[in-house]
Amino acid sequence: MPVVFITASVDIAATVRAMKAGAVSCLQAPVHEPDFLAAVREGISRDAARRAEQAARRQVSALIESLTPREREVLNLVVTGLLNEQIAFHLGTAEKTVKTHKGRLMRRLRARSAIDLVRLLAAGGISTPALPHGPREALLNGYR
């Protein structure tokens, strides 16, 4: 919740603590109405932006939850930049199967490209996974 910190005395340490704790503004009493209204508007604006970001994150999470576990696996590999054949090798499946899963997840997430997927994950506050590790890391050799 946005807070406007108002103090009767100028205490720099308390002001710094209030700002670090997320105060929108620190005003010294007596407060001038234009300064107070500007601080309140700033608080409302910040809160609206925070709520919009939370809504976007919830929406992206819901979209990703609608994917099957295999589609989520494919999604994680697509956003790392792997090609369909590399993903198929990594998952131990056919490239055609990967294309099917990828097509479904692209439709569900309303994305047209891997870049759209990365942007969607970023908007939802979801970090993109690193390239797969382990003995199959050799799958990257010869495909670069």
Across the chain, what does the average pLDDT equal?
86
Give one DSSP letter per residue of 74-86, joined into a string.
HHHHHTTT--HHH
Q: Taking the alpha carbons of 14, 20, 21, 25 in that order, is the dihedral positive or negative?
A: positive
Q: Is the pLDDT of residue 134 over 80?
A: no
Give the model's pLDDT for residue 13: 87
CA–CA distance, 135 with 106 (Å, rounded to integer): 29
pLDDT digits (tens, 9 = 90+) for 40-76: 999 999 999 999 989 988 988 888 888 999 999 999 9
Structural contact between residues 28 and 8, judged by C-beta atoms closer than 8 angstroms: yes
CA–CA distance, 122 with 141 (Å, rounded to integer): 28
Averaged over 1-12, what is the pLDDT?
Answer: 84
3-class secondary-structure state, position 5 = strand
Which comes out higher in pLDDT, residue 140 or 109? 109
Tokens of 82: 């792997």
Tokens of 97: 């199967």
Give the model's pLDDT for residue 136: 47
**Structural domains for the chain:** 4-54 (no CATH), 66-140 (1.10.10.10)
CA–CA distance, 29 with 92 (Å, rounded to integer): 68
CA–CA distance, 1 with 103 (Å, rounded to integer): 41
pLDDT digits (tens, 9 = 90+) for 74-133: 999 999 889 999 999 999 999 999 999 999 999 999 999 989 999 888 888 887 776 665
- Please state the pTM of the whole predicted model: 0.63
Amino acid at 60: V
CA–CA distance, 144 with 89 (Å, rounded to integer): 15
Amino acid at 23: A
Which comes out higher in pLDDT, residue 112 or 137? 112
Give the model's pLDDT for residue 37: 95
Lowest mean pLDDT among 12-16, 24-28, 34-38, 135-139: 135-139
